Amino acid sequence: MKCLVIYGTLSGSTMTAAELVGATLRETGHETDVVSIESATKDMVASHDCIVIASPSWEDEGKDGQPLPEIRIFLSTLTAADLAGKKMAIVGLGDTAYPHFCGAVDVLEARLKELGVATLATPSLKIDRYYSLRDNEQKVKDWATALANTLTS
């Protein structure tokens, strides 16, 4: 399956996690492209079977737990037709010290439901303090492996 991992990042953590997802998908036989939100296009979405969106959670416009504005803007350009038949998955990075831990995941899931994505290919991944906690890299690999297995079944 042809996969596209789109990420937004502030500190580099989400980029690192997205690249790990991409590498794991490739290792399991999926053709995978990993791109920053600034480089993502509707044509890229159209040419892939599976779309993974990765975002940190942060405060935006006075609301805690939001995806990066660039990701929200990009998703606002997509229609139900753009995502028809696509497998979708979400990765969120956050910190349990904030009121809405990985709230970006919840916002992104809601937007995908608005676009007609009834179910995700695998449950969304919420990662606490990516660089600070020891097992986070393995959690990302395990999640990406589970996604890969879902895509091939």
What is residue 124's DSSP assignment?
P
Q: What is the pLDDT along the chain (153 residues), one digit of tens a residue?
A: 999 999 999 999 999 999 999 999 999 999 999 999 999 999 999 999 999 999 999 888 788 899 999 999 999 999 999 999 999 999 999 999 888 899 999 999 999 999 988 789 999 999 998 887 789 999 999 999 999 999 998
In a domain, 152, yes or no: no
Residue 46 lies in a domain: yes
The pLDDT assigned to 62 comes to: 81
Domain for residue 27, yes or no?
A: yes
DSSP 61-78: TTEEEE--HHHHHHHHH-
- Confidence (pLDDT) at 33: 98
Confirm whether 72 is domain-assigned: yes
Residue 16 belongs to what domain range?
Answer: 2-144
What CATH number did the domain enclosing 34 receive?
3.40.50.360
Kindly state whether residue 76 falls inside one of the protein's structural domains. Answer: yes
For the four alpha carbons of 17, 23, 27 and 29, in that order, the dihedral sign comes to positive
Residue 97 belongs to some domain of the structure = yes
Give the Cα separation of 27 and 57 in Å (integer): 28
Number of domains the chain contains: 1
Distances (CA, A) of 87 to 18, 98, 121, 151: 17, 30, 6, 8
| DSSP at 117 | -
Residue 151 lies in a domain: no
